[in-house]
Amino acid sequence: MPDIDAYLDAHRDQFEADLCELLRIPSVSADSRHRGDIRRAAEWLVAKFRGLGLACDLVETAGHPIVLADSPKIDGAPTVLVYGHYDVQPPDPLGEWISPPFEPTVRDGNLYARGATDDKGQMLTHVLSVEAWMTTEGKLPVNVTLLIEGEEEVGSENLDKFIEANRARLACDVVVISDTSQFAEGVPAITYGLRGIAYYELRLRGPKQDLHSGTFGGAVKNPAIALAEMFAGLIDENGRVQVPGFYDDVAALSDAERKQFAALPFDEAAFRNQVGVAQTFGEAGFSTLERRWVRPTFDVHGLTSGYQGEGAKTVLPAKASGKFSFRLVPNQDPKKIAAALKTKLAELCPPGIEMELVEFHGAPGVVVPLDSPFMAAAARAIEHGFGRAPVYMREGGSIPVVSTFRNLLGVDTLLLGWGRDDDNTHSPNEKFNLADFHRGIRSSARLWRELATRK
Ligand code: BES
Ligand code: MN
Ligand code: MN
């Protein structure tokens, strides 16, 4: 592919400028104040696709729009569905960013901005490789449909409905997603498993209004303490979830997979250093990679109660609430877990407190087969782009649509991640390594040909 690779080399600056343009749009899906920005990001993509000669629709949903584009039809060639998301997580806490989250800035070969790796930068690698093919060859060697949504970070609810209602329109042979990471620097990877998630908010009410803690404390149950007790009741000190039946359906780890994980070049001390803890934590009998990839968990994401301002205030708060989730692994049923959770919380809820459980998004864990010709094609494309064959790994994060594609379209997904574990996704100073960006584009451009001639 001399022409295509030459095009990629000649357009590196232009590709980076495109990415920066998209990163300047603060398309935060969780925050209604950014509705207009979400739309601008979708429209930016529509203009980009149409400019490349792709048929493209901006599809309205009950929430944020979906962008859907098709390359020119090639009869007899396989159809590849590329999925990505143009929405990003909120940039908070703002004060911890070295450069502002929506002013993309290069430092040390990394591009810093919210969404740089998750998922604008990774998603764009496929858009730009399509650009290279369309500009150089006037067509692609496969049929590519690009489905880019604006609600991944809030659970993909409207996307699921869209897929359900448009199965024939989205029919394809394989799905490609770049929204994960390499195993480590210089170790590209194909991910074959993701954890699922079940996300909730627990809201507790005690007295009818905030009270003086001297006058009333000791005689009225404090909702903030009740919240702490209830969360503590959901997990033991070794990280074992205390919801009855929680582990019943958990797929066991095979000896072969355990050996395969252990053979990966994982450095425990470097990991501790990366996250800044003196010691790792987790279920006895499992390694750090096993705890992150194949074991289910409970985590608290945010706690709200009482006085949070400067100085001290002696208040017995009327309310307390906490956001939390379970990461799920294959075979765990989110519905069964929700039912068992409700029973457990009702038992844990102390007298004098009223509780309400709000259910947010959910998705089951997934594994995809490793032995398909599509996988082999992807491995060759990565070897071309990164100069090294990929390792096979799982990830602890969730991409809800992967199980939807399996269930509604009957297709498997290739999870080809160009990011790195220390890219600070969802955190301050999110970044994407620019060399990885270009390697990703090069791999993607090669992928279309490898999929067309797959063996
Ligand atoms: N790109 C991530 C998923 C991911 C994270 C894959 C880490 C591999 C490693 C995605 O954008 C994401 O953040 N998903 C959410 C899903 C949730 C909002 C339903 C997640 O995992 O928290
Ligand atoms: Mn993502
Ligand atoms: Mn994300």
Angle at 403 (CA atoms; ends 437, 31), nearest 5 degrees: 65
pTM: 0.95
Class of domain 196-250+296-363: alpha beta
**pLDDT reported for residue 198:** 96
- Measured from CB, residues less than 6 Å from any atom of ligand 1 are 118-119, 152-153, 155, 179-181, 197, 361, 363, 395, 397-400
Candidate of 153, 324, 394, 422 to mutate for ligand 1, largest count of ligand atoms within 8 Å of Cβ: 153
Instruction: Express each pLDDT in 327-357 by its tens digit.
Output: 999 999 999 999 999 999 999 999 999 999 9
Nearest to 366 by CA among 408, 395, 344: 395
CA of 454 to the centre of ligand 3 (A): 31
**pLDDT reported for residue 168:** 97
**pLDDT reported for residue 292:** 98
Which ligand 1 atom sits nearest the alpha carbon of residue 118?
A: 1
Instruction: Express each pLDDT in 422-432 by its tens digit.
Output: 999 999 999 99
Q: For this structure, is 152 an active site residue?
A: yes
Please determine, for residue 114, whether its predicted confidence score (pLDDT) is greater than 90.
Answer: yes
Three-state DSSP class for residue 376? helix
Which ligand 1 atom sits nearest the alpha carbon of residue 363?
A: 19
Render the burial of 329-340: b for 16+ CB within 10 Å, e for the rest.
bbebebeebbee
Nearest ligand to the C-alpha atom of residue 430: 3
**Closest residue (by CA) to atom 19 of ligand 1?**
155
CA of 150 to the centre of ligand 3 (A): 11
Regarding the domain delimited by 2-194+366-452, which CATH topology (the fold level of the hierarchy) does it fall under?
Aminopeptidase (3.40.630)
Tell me which residue has tokens 């001399």. 2
Beta-carbon neighbour count of residue 279 at 10 Å? 5
Instruction: Express each pLDDT in 170-223 by its tens digit.
Output: 999 999 999 999 999 999 999 999 999 999 999 999 999 999 999 999 999 999
Would you call 445 exposed, middle or buried from its count of C-beta atoms within 10 A (0-12, 13-18, 19+)? buried
Q: Sketch the domain layout of the chain as residue ranges.
A: 2-194+366-452, 196-250+296-363
Q: What band does 2 get if pLDDT is binned at 50, 70 and 90? A: confident
Q: Tell me how far CA of residue 262 lies from CA of 12, 15, 61, 223, 371, in angstroms.
A: 37, 38, 44, 44, 21
Nearest to 296 by CA among 347, 235, 349, 345: 235
Please determine, for residue 1, whether its predicted confidence score (pLDDT) is greater than 80.
Answer: no
Please determine, for residue 455, whether its predicted confidence score (pLDDT) is greater than 80.
Answer: no
**Closest residue (by CA) to atom 7 of ligand 1?**
397
Nearest ligand to the C-alpha atom of residue 399: 1
Q: Where are the alpha helices (DSSP H) in 294-372?
A: 334-348
Q: For this structure, is 185 an active site residue?
A: no
Determine the average pLDDT of the residues in 48-64: 97
**pLDDT reported for residue 306:** 98
**Closest residue (by CA) to atom 5 of ligand 1?**
397
Catalytic residue of the set 18, 37, 87, 149:
87
**Closest residue (by CA) to atom 18 of ligand 1?**
153
Three-state DSSP class for residue 346? helix
Q: Tell me how far CA of residue 336 lies from CA of 43, 177, 249, 367, in angstroms.
A: 40, 29, 10, 20
Nearest ligand to the C-alpha atom of residue 153: 1
Q: What is the mean pLDDT of the chain?
A: 97
Catalytic residue of the set 118, 131, 152, 395:
152
Which ligand 1 atom sits nearest the alpha carbon of residue 85?
A: 11
Instruction: Express each pLDDT in 215-273 by its tens digit.
Output: 999 999 999 999 999 999 999 999 999 999 999 999 999 999 999 999 999 999 999 99
Candidate of 83, 85, 89, 179 to mutate for ligand 1, largest count of ligand atoms within 8 Å of Cβ: 179
CA of 118 to the centre of ligand 1 (A): 8
Nearest to 59 by CA among 157, 159, 131: 159
Which ligand 1 atom sits nearest the alpha carbon of residue 325?
A: 22
Q: Tell me how far CA of residue 156 lies from CA of 4, 30, 66, 180, 398, in angstroms.
A: 34, 12, 11, 17, 11
**Closest residue (by CA) to atom 1 of ligand 1?**
179
**Closest residue (by CA) to atom 13 of ligand 1?**
153
Nearest ligand to the C-alpha atom of residue 395: 1
Question: DSSP letters along 35-71, please?
Answer: HHHHHHHHHHHHHHHHHTT-EEEEE--SSS-EEEEEP
Angle at 191 (CA atoms; ends 391, 106), nearest 5 degrees: 85
